[in-house]
């Protein structure tokens, strides 16, 4: 019976990738629906202007985020390059997982933080960075350290940074379009063209409702995608290490790690980390990470 309940990490990886694609399609549908309603409510000329502005702002945002995400993330946590001699165990773990994954050796950084945590960033495997907290180096043994490094290498291998950048841009476009639409109604006094008056009023009301709700819904979808990618990275880490025990034990230590009262980590970079640095006790739709208990339960079945 126990054997039939076991989960193959390949199945877990495939399942979570499919779920992530499904969720990003949901964002596309919301974007198209919002565009259709705005186009009908304000007319094609207004909609064209709104879309051009949204695309320009989004492209500027994606260019900055895509090419400078690693520098922004490292600067926000005041990370410093790891010393190969002083942090030999860390370099050995990264080199070992680099060989296991077949990926180039990423740059290695250290951030001062007593909690056990780590994150990966960078636009592709050739420009990847892994940052580990001092708490992880002090509290984890060799297998556990390899487990969390394998998890971060999984994010690099799965191009999660690029994937999440696309998601962020789509969410950003919806927010920008919604904001421009609401402001255009304010300045125009709710007037569009005069065609089909009642139908247009209905579409304006629908557009207002969508403009208010769409950014909230898409943000929730974004967070759901973030949680799915964590499960995928856990499964891929098992693929790299060929055993789940290191990551399981590391997560158990994180589970009992004491949360910091005055956290210096920005909430904007929290989704990058191996576990939620703010250690919320209860998971909800606004959580960036799955509950550690659930992650451990899935890993123990592999």
For residue 268, give both structure tokens: 């904007």
Residue with tokens 């198209």: 32
Find the angle CA(208)-CA(214)-CA(215) to the nearest 5 degrees: 110
Active-site residue, 152 included: yes
Q: How many alpha carbons fall within 13 Å on the CB side of residue 234?
A: 36
The alpha carbon torsion through 189, 190, 194, 199 (nearest 10 deg) reads -160
Please give the span between the terminal C-alpha atoms of the chain, in angstroms, as a whole number: 14
Pick the catalytic residue: 95, 152, 179, 300? 152
> What's the burial of 267, exposed, middle or buried (CB within 10 Å: 0-12/13-18/19+)?
exposed
Q: How many CB atoms lie within 10 A of CB 183?
A: 12
Q: Which residues are known catalytic residues?
A: 152
């Amino acid at each position: 019976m126990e054997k039939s309940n076991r989960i193959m990490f390949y199945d877990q990886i495939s399942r979570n990738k499919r779920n992530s694609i499904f969720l990003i399609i949901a964002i596309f549908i919301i974007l198209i629906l919002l565009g259709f309603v705005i186009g009908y409510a304000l007319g094609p000329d207004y909609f064209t202007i709104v879309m051009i502005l949204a695309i320009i702002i989004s492209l500027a945002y994606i260019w900055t985020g895509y090419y400078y995400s690693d520098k922004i993330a490292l600067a926000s946590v005041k990370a410093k390059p790891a010393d190969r001699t002083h942090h030999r165990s860390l370099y050995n773990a990264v080199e070992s997982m680099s060989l296991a994954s077949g990926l180039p050796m990423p740059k290695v950084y250290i951030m001062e933080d007593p909690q056990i945590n780590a994150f990966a960033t960078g636009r592709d495997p050739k420009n990847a960075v892994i940052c580990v907290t001092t708490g992880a180096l002090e509290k984890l043994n060799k297998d556990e350290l390899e487990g969390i490094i394998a998890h971060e290498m999984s994010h690099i291998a799965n191009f999660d940074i690029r994937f999440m950048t696309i998601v962020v841009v789509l969410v950003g476009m919806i927010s920008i379009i919604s904001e421009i639409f609401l402001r255009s109604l304010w300045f125009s006094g709710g007037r569009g063209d005069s065609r089909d008056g009642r139908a247009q009023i209905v579409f304006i009301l629908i557009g207002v409702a969508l403009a208010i709700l769409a950014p909230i819904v898409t943000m929730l979808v974004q967070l759901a995608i973030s949680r799915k990618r964590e499960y995928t990275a856990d499964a891929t880490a098992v693929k790299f290490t060929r055993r789940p025990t290191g990551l399981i034990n590391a997560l158990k230590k994180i589970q009992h790690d004491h949360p910091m009262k005055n956290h210096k980590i920005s909430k904007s970079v929290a989704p990058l980390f191996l576990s939620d640095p703010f250690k919320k006790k209860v998971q909800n739709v606004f959580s960036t990470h799955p509950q550690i208990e659930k992650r451990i339960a899935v890993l123990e079945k592999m």
